[in-house]
């Protein structure tokens, strides 16, 4: 059955009937879907003529929520009743399947990119009957097919609530669902073979509720409704109207376009064209504010500003009749009110548009039209002004109906009943609803039953104003000059005018356009002076602290080029008409100012509206500034990354060499102590003529074709950025950057990195920054007058990223600062290339080492890692580290031991060699102190590999070596972390080191058992495994190889097996070990052999065979 909220009509009683007052019925939950085909057409179902609701009308698929199919339903008194939720989504998928046969499902656990779930026609039709007849739960039926409903791709698109006074009321969640772009739906010349998504053809459901289910262009459905071929109730008409501006199956302009008749033939559309249309629609749905025009000045509905901030996914519409038009008698339906259940919650609908409709016999809608509210109101005011006598009364409310089939019903005309068949009511229509709230006109409650439409002209001044008023409602051109005594005075713009005797005579004018001169009578600039105190207060409240031109309520001087007035003209109009409703003089002053703004910025306003509201996304360079009011979120690409910034201020640079429009913008970053904002200068180079917005280097985010995708990407990266605030050990795979005097140097980094901006700035002070002290200088929704204050830190100073809004999260930097342990540099890392570390928990277990020594190392390291401040030296801070010396032949596991310890305690491994420490005592002191400082800060496991040169015994004759050893001893004494030193020459150690070593570990040549265990450990790590048994491992262990050689042998054998296309087994491993044995024989027994001498090759072969 159809969703009851998508086109209901009233069934309540006629005005004047006296009934017992009772509370409105609780709305029932329902769902409905605007289903978009692969060619961007919309599915409508044709209701049967015998239906009790929407008879013969075309509707979207949908229906009531079912506790049996859709799980637990929201309670009638729960706030969740009017929120998008799992039950609403499941009902939308189920009802679409029952009514059209289209199954919006996917394979369980898969993404929709892998295609919708394909179900044979006979199985699908049998399932429809079973589900519709409640023979089986919808989800159980899907699970039996290995599928699940594709609820994640439902896009919330308004909610409709039946107004009170009806016996049956509904709260209907509307969704948008876009079927995957399928090659079967594209022209033959454009078929993309790599896509195999199967979309079932829509079918009627056996005449149960519908006689047809058809896809067509939204514009085509609207044209058929206007021609009287089909019936569309106002909600369907309204939603199709919104969609028609973006989606169509051909590239020709839609039928609504006045230029369609002269448009030349277009090429067949491609998949990319359909994708672009969808992206534009999604960007429109995601954009806030949702309004595209300024509210009508005399429209007393002031909800436009607040409802504009409600995204389409959250808009709630409970239609309300505003009045019946004098011109044609059609009812004007307001769409801004959310219904009584949601009053005072901040929810609302669309205050920018209204629906015009005439109801014919049986309540069927005719002549349905969606118009801008301000245009309709202004038309009605003009009609009213032509009338000599105004008929009192304005229609109060309409109620979406239940299942009577009536869409909207006029309750009374001048206190006389008006039947649904009446074509044209009287000029004034009043409503008396028995058990309802006070009469409402344009959203305002009135205590009387009849109201009047009052006429007001926004461009004329009152001729009957008192002649002795002190404030003249005009804009006075003046000059501001200096006299001979360097005193400022104001004078009219005449050649020779004496200085007025009255100092402040110019304050008698409401506004003064002033040319400012300096003491040398040189023109310095232009300003607009605002004198009426109510206007000054309005400007201060609406515009406030505008960057570069703040408003001082006691002395309002707005400097040319008056950009603040341009950007805030809509807010001034909305707030001003509301504030000055009972102040005629201030209202006239406001109208004068608004008319001046419209005249002064006539070209700019036209260019701005063409670009932002009329779909012509082109802009001239001289008008580009209009796109960037303070607080605008802009998009640009920096260092190959999508970035978002918030505009602070702007100016034109008229430099002859490189003129440009410059934007001072801000973004969110972390300086090591707190989150805050940094600023950056962006620029758009001057260009001739007009240019597509997509070609600009900076563009408002909301005007991007793929704004929603970019917004989601930025938000996800921002949340990820927030999780990396502070010290974080992470994995990185990508390009890192370093700022240099001539640009950015790039480094390819793979491995573990420590994200730590605080240490970065401490170690690299010349490349540090400080964020603005814990404030976000944003102008909320581009409407607030003051810079919103935002604390980035908790009471303990710990950064609290979750306090950031989604907007500020999108503004975060694309990079974080830290240190690469592989590149051994402080760098900036792109957030998107960072990931969590996958720790190797078996590493220490697989380490082949004497069990007693292994246990000792584990105990010392684990204890030290858990308790930083334990037993201390007599001198505080001395001897707090853990120093381990690993000595023995190469390849027996010294370095691996340090690596396994780092994995065991989950700490970074900071590995350095003698080459990293320098060759002089001064270099050693500086580099070793720096390295140990960083290692202690990050609680890293520090490994100094091959440390022989720094540990060798001092002598009386080598002062240079003595100095280096002394430096090493001193720094080592105060190191507080875990340090591993590896060496092959422990016998040369200086005696002073012996007392500083906590645990020395001696490594010997590997035994056969040790080699077998190492072979076993490495074979276990080979992807795909190795075909080898214990006997084979014993054979391999006979080869005298160290651990490093065993690892290299397995790598080489793995490549050999891959080349042969077989699984790795003993054969390949023996082949590689034989080659290694040959090399060992060359090194040990054949050193110095001349291979060119006679008989050398034979002797060489015989010698090598001895080892095989």
Bridge-based pairing of strands 472-482 and 147-149 is unpaired
Residues 963 and 1001 reside in one and the same domain:
yes
Domain boundary among 614, 649, 684: 614
* Average pLDDT of the segment spanning 326-343: 85
Residue 546 lies in a domain: yes
Domain count, the chain: 4
Give Cβ neighbours of residue 852 (< 8 Å, ≥ 6 apart).
Answer: none
Bridge-based pairing of strands 728-740 and 825-830 is antiparallel
In this model, does residue 393 exceed pLDDT 70? Answer: no
Residue 134 lies in a domain: no
Domain boundary among 581, 614, 647: 614
Of 236-245, 474-483, 733-742, 810-819, least confident by mean pLDDT is 474-483
How many angstroms separate the CA atoms of 936 and 108, rounded?
A: 49
Confidence (pLDDT) at 293: 63
**Residues, the chain:** 1108
Per-residue pLDDT band for 730 (boundaries 50, 70, 90) equals very high
Confidence (pLDDT) at 700: 95
Identify the residue with better confidence: 701 or 962: 701
3-state secondary structure 968-1016: HHHHHHCCCCEEEEEECCHHHECHHHHCCCCEEEECCCCCHHHHHHHHH
Residues 609 and 733 reside in one and the same domain:
no
In this model, does residue 523 exceed pLDDT 60? Answer: yes
Residue 318 lies in a domain: no
* Average pLDDT of the segment spanning 560-589: 93
Confidence (pLDDT) at 753: 96
In this model, does residue 465 exceed pLDDT 60? Answer: no
In this model, does residue 1055 exceed pLDDT 60? Answer: yes
In this model, does residue 418 exceed pLDDT 50? Answer: no
Residues 533 and 633 reside in one and the same domain:
no
In this model, does residue 226 exceed pLDDT 80? Answer: yes
Confidence (pLDDT) at 760: 95
Confidence (pLDDT) at 860: 81
Write out pLDDT tens, residues 352-372.
999 998 877 667 888 899 999
Confidence (pLDDT) at 549: 78
Confidence (pLDDT) at 502: 64
In this model, does residue 698 exceed pLDDT 90? Answer: yes
Confidence (pLDDT) at 13: 33
Residue 451 lies in a domain: no
Residue 866 lies in a domain: yes
Per-residue pLDDT band for 712 (boundaries 50, 70, 90) equals very high
Identify the residue with better confidence: 458 or 899: 899
Confidence (pLDDT) at 208: 61
Residue 447 lies in a domain: no
Domain boundary among 1005, 1028, 1062: 1005
Residues 956 and 1020 reside in one and the same domain:
no
Of 197-201, 328-332, 902-906, 1002-1006, least confident by mean pLDDT is 197-201
CATH number at residue 919: 3.40.50.300
Output the average pLDDT for the chain: 76
Residues 701 and 747 reside in one and the same domain:
yes
Residues 995 and 909 reside in one and the same domain:
yes
Q: How many CA atoms lie within 13 A of 953 on its CB side?
A: 8
How many angstroms separate the CA atoms of 597 and 608, rounded?
A: 14
Residues 893 and 958 reside in one and the same domain:
yes
Closest CA to 247 of 45, 38, 62: 38
Per-residue pLDDT band for 625 (boundaries 50, 70, 90) equals very high
In this model, does residue 527 exceed pLDDT 80? Answer: yes
Q: Which two tokens stand for residue 312?
A: 């389409």
* Average pLDDT of the segment spanning 274-294: 85
In this model, does residue 463 exceed pLDDT 80? Answer: no
Are the C-beta atoms of 892 and 1006 separated by less than 8 Å?
Answer: yes
* Average pLDDT of the segment spanning 590-612: 91
Residues 632 and 542 reside in one and the same domain:
no
Percentage of the chain with pLDDT > 70?
75
Confidence (pLDDT) at 1000: 85
Confidence (pLDDT) at 483: 73
Write out pLDDT tens, residues 836-888.
999 887 878 777 777 887 888 888 887 877 765 454 554 444 557 788 888 88
Are the C-beta atoms of 669 and 769 separated by less than 8 Å?
Answer: yes
1104: helix, coil or strand?
helix
Residues 549 and 477 reside in one and the same domain:
yes
Confidence (pLDDT) at 230: 87
Residues 732 and 703 reside in one and the same domain:
yes
Could you list the beta-strand ranges (E) of 920-975: 941-945
Bridge-based pairing of strands 978-983 and 999-1002 is unpaired
In this model, does residue 520 exceed pLDDT 70? Answer: yes
- The angle formed by the CA atoms of residues 929, 933 and 935, to the nearest 5 degrees, is 120
Residues 604 and 621 reside in one and the same domain:
no
How many angstroms separate the CA atoms of 948 and 959, rounded?
A: 17
* Average pLDDT of the segment spanning 391-396: 30
Confidence (pLDDT) at 951: 73
Residue 133 lies in a domain: no
Per-residue pLDDT band for 52 (boundaries 50, 70, 90) equals low
CATH number at residue 1015: 1.10.8.60
Residue 939 lies in a domain: yes
Domain containing residue 1074: 1009-1083
Percentage of the chain with pLDDT > 90?
30
* Average pLDDT of the segment spanning 926-944: 90
Cα-Cα end-to-end distance for the chain: 84
Residues 969 and 864 reside in one and the same domain:
yes
Question: How many C-beta neighbours within 10 Å does residue 1018 have?
Answer: 17
pTM for the predicted model, two decimal places: 0.52
Per-residue pLDDT band for 385 (boundaries 50, 70, 90) equals low
Could you list the beta-strand ranges (E) of 914-970: 941-945
Which range has highest mean pLDDT (353-357, 494-498, 896-900)?
A: 353-357
């Amino acid at each position: 059955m159809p969703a009851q909220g998508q086109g209901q009509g009233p069934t309540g009683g006629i005005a004047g009937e006296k009934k017992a007052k009772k509370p409105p019925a609780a709305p029932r939950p329902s769902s409905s879907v605007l289903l978009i085909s692969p060619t961007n057409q919309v599915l409508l179902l044709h209701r049967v003529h015998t239906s009790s609701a929407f008879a013969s009308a075309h509707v979207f698929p949908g229906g009531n929520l079912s506790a049996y199919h859709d799980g637990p339903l929201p309670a009638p008194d729960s706030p969740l009743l009017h929120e998008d939720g799992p039950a609403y989504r499941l009902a939308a998928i189920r009802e679409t399947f029952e009514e059209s046969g289209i199954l919006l499902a996917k394979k369980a656990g898969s993404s929709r990119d892998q295609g919708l779930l394909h179900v044979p026609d006979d199985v699908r039709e049998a399932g429809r009957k079973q589900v519709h007849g409640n023979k089986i739960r919808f989800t159980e039926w899907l699970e039996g097919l290995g599928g699940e409903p594709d609820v994640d791709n439902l896009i919330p698109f308004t909610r409709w609530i039946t107004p009170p006074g009806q016996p049956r009321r509904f709260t209907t969640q509307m969704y948008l669902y876009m079927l995957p772009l399928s090659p079967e739906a594209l022209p033959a010349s454009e078929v993309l073979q790599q896509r195999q998504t199967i979309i079932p053809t829509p079918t009627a459901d056996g005449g149960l509720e519908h006689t047809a289910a058809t896809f067509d262009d939204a514009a085509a459905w609207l044209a058929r409704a206007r021609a009287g071929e089909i019936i569309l109730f106002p909600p369907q008409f309204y939603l199709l109207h919104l969609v028609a501006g973006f989606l169509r199956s051909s590239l020709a302009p839609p039928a609504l376009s006045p230029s369609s008749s002269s448009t030349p033939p277009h090429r067949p559309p491609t998949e990319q064209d359909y994708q672009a249309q969808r992206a534009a629609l999604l960007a429109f749905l995601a954009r806030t504010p949702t309004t595209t025009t300024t509210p009508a000045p005399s429209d007393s509905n002031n909800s436009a500003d607040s409802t504009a901030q409600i995204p389409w996914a959250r808009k709630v519409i409970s239609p309300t009749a505003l009045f019946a038009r004098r011109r044609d008698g059609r009812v004007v339906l307001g769409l801004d009110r959310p219904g009584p259940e949601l009053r005072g919650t901040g929810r609302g609908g669309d205050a920018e548009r209204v629906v015009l409709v005439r109801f014919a016999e049986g309540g069927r809608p005719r002549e349905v039209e969606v118009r801008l509210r301000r245009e309709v109101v202004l038309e009605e005011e003009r009609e009213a002004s032509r009338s000599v006598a105004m008929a009192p009364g304005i229609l109060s409310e309409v109620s979406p109906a239940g299942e009577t089939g009536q869409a909207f019903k006029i309750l009374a005309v001048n206190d006389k009943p008006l039947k649904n068949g009446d074509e044209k009511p009287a000029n004034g229509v009043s409503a008396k609803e028995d058990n309802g709230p006070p009469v409402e006109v344009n959203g305002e409650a009135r205590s009387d039953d009849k109201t009047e439409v009052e006429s007001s002209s926004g461009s004329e001044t009152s001729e009957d104003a008192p002649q002795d008023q002190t404030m003249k409602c005009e804009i006075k051109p003046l000059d501001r000059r200096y006299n001979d005594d360097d005193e400022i005075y104001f004078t009219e713009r005449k050649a020779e005018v004496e200085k007025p005797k009255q100092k402040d005579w110019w304050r008698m004018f409401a506004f003064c356009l002033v040319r400012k001169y300096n003491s040398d009578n040189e023109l310095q600039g232009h300003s607009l002076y605002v004198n009426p105190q109510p206007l000054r207060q309005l400007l201060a409240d609406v515009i406030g602290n505008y960057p570069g031109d703040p408003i001082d309520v006691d002395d309002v001087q707005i400097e040319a080029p008056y950009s603040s007035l341009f950007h805030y003209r809509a807010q001034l109009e909305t707030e001003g008409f509301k504030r000055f409703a009972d102040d005629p003089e201030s209202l006239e002053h406001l109208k004068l100012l608004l008319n001046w703004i419209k005249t002064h910025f006539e070209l700019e306003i036209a260019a701005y509206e063409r670009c932002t509201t009329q779909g012509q996304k082109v802009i001239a360079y001289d008008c580009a500034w209009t796109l960037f009011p303070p607080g605008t979120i802009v998009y640009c690409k920096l260092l190959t990354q999508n970035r978002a910034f918030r505009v602070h201020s702007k100016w034109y640079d008229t430099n002859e060499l490189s003129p440009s429009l410059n934007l001072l913008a801000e973004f969110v970053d972390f300086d090591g102590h707190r989150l805050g904002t940094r600023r950056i200068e962006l620029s758009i180079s001057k260009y001739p003529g007009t240019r597509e917005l997509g070609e600009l280097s900076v563009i408002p985010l909301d005007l991007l074709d793929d704004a929603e995708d970019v917004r989601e990407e930025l938000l996800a990266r921002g949340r990820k950025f927030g999780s990396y605030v502070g010290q974080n050990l992470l994995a990185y795979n990508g390009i890192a950057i370093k700022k240099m005097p001539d640009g950015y140097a790039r480094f390819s980094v793979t491995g573990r990195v420590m994200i730590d901006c605080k240490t970065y700035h401490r170690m690299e002070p010349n490349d540090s920054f400080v964020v603005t002290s814990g404030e976000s200088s944003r102008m909320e929704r581009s409407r607030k007058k003051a810079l919103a204050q935002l604390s980035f830190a908790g009471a303990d100073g710990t950064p609290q990223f979750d306090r950031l809004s989604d907007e500020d999260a999108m503004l975060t930097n694309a990079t974080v600062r830290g240190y690469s342990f592989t590149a051994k540099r402080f760098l900036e890392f792109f957030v998107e290339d960072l990931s969590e570390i996958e720790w190797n928990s078996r590493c220490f277990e697989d380490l082949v080492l004497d069990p007693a020594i292994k246990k000792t190392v584990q105990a010392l390291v684990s204890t030290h890692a858990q308790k930083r401040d334990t037993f201390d030296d007599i001198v505080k801070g001395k001897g707090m580290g853990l120093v381990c010396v690993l000595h023995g032949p190469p390849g027996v596991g010294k370095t691996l031991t340090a690596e396994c310890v780092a994995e065991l305690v989950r700490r970074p491994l900071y590995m350095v060699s003698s080459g990293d420490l320098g060759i002089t005592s001064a270099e050693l002191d500086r580099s070793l102190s720096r390295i140990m400082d960083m290692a202690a800060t990050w609680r890293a496991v520090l490994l100094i590999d091959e440390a022989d040169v720094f540990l060798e015994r001092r002598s009386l004759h080598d002062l240079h070596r003595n100095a280096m050893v002394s430096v090493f001893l001193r720094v080592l004494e105060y190191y507080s972390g875990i340090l591993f030193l590896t060496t092959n020459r422990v016998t040369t150690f200086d005696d002073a080191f012996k007392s500083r070593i906590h645990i020395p570990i001696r490594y010997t040549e590997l035994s056969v058992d040790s080699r077998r265990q190492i072979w076993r450990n490495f074979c276990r790590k080979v992807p795909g495994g190795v075909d080898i048994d214990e006997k084979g491992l014993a054979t391999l262990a006979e080869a005298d190889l160290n651990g490093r050689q065993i690892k290299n042998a397995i790598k080489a054998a793995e490549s050999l097996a891959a080349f042969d296309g077989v699984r790795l087994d003993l054969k390949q491993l023996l082949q590689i070990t034989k080659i290694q044995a040959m090399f060992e024989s060359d090194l040990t027994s054949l050193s110095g052999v001349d291979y060119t001498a006679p008989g050398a090759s034979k002797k060489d072969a015989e010698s090598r065979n001895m080892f095989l």
